[in-house]
Amino acid sequence: MAKPRLHLDADVSYRVLQRVLLERGHDVTRTPCEWMPLDAGDEQQLLQATARGRCILTFNVGDFMHLARTHPTHGGIVLAQQKDWSLAALIAAVDGLLTRTVAEEWPGRVRWLNEWRPGTDQP
C-alpha cells in the first residue's frame, strides 16, 4: 500500500505547511510549482494533480464539490473550511491524513479534513 501524495491548491498553498509536511516525510506539492502556475484555475489544479497521482487539499468547497461531480475519476479531494483552522491544527490534521490513509483509497473520494482534526475520533 502506497502513501498518499498530496497537492495543496492555491487557496491552501502555504509554504510553511508544505515544508513541515515534507520534513515529516510526506510527498506534498503546492501551487505554484513546475507543473502548476500560480494562476491555474480550480479545474486545471484538480486535473493536473490527478494526472500526477495526487489528491488535492482545498478551502474552495463549493467549486471542488462541483468539480468532483464533473470529474468523478479525480485523484481525491480533501475539503476544509478555511476559517476553522489555525496553522498548527492544519498541519496536525494533514499529517494525520497522510499518515493514516493509503493512496489506493483516495481516487474518486471526497472527504473532509475534520476527520483528522486532533482531538476527534480518528478514522
Q: State the CATH number of the domain containing residue 69.
A: 3.40.50
103 vs 120, residue with greater confidence: 103
Residue 123 is predicted with a pLDDT of 47
Q: What's the number of domains the chain is made of?
A: 1
Residue 118 is predicted with a pLDDT of 82
Whether 123 is in a domain gets the answer no
Whether 121 is in a domain gets the answer no
As a whole number, the mean pLDDT across the chain is 95
Confidence band for 92, pLDDT divided at 50, 70 and 90: very high
- Strand ranges (E), 1-123: 5-8, 27-30, 55-58, 77-79, 110-112
Q: What is the pLDDT of residues 61-72, one digit of tens each?
A: 999 999 999 999
- Strand ranges (E), 39-109: 55-58, 77-79
Q: What is the pLDDT of residues 5-51, one digit of tens each?
A: 999 999 998 999 999 999 999 999 999 999 999 999 999 999 999 99
The separation between CA 24 and the C-alpha centre of its own chain, rounded to angstroms, equals 16
Q: How far, in Å, CA of 14 to CA of 66, rounded?
A: 24
Whether 95 is in a domain gets the answer yes
Residue ranges making up the domain that contains 70: 5-116
**Grid coordinates representing 123?**
478514522
Q: How far, in Å, CA of 36 to CA of 43, rounded?
A: 12
